[in-house]
Amino acid sequence: MKKGLAIGIGVSVFVIILAIVLISSPKSDVIEVEDTLDKEVKPETEIPEIQDKLDEVEKINLENEYSPKERE
């Protein structure tokens, strides 16, 4: 009986340690992926034609922004 209890406690401790390790490790992978995506999306050199188009898209987006009107 004591042998079964000792094995059960040992397995429980192992599962808890394994869960803690697996929960804490994915965060660094997510940060690495986000950094990589940021580098790919933002070009290192600015191209005037692309910047003009981005400004135009931002202007259109601001014009189409929803602003609720007051009720009467």
What are the sequence ranges of the domains in the chain? 2-63
pLDDT, position 66? 72
Q: Report the alpha-carbon distance of residue 41 to residue 36 in Å, rounded.
A: 9
Per-residue pLDDT reduced to its tens digit, 14-68:
999 988 877 776 555 555 656 665 555 566 677 788 888 888 988 888 888 777 7
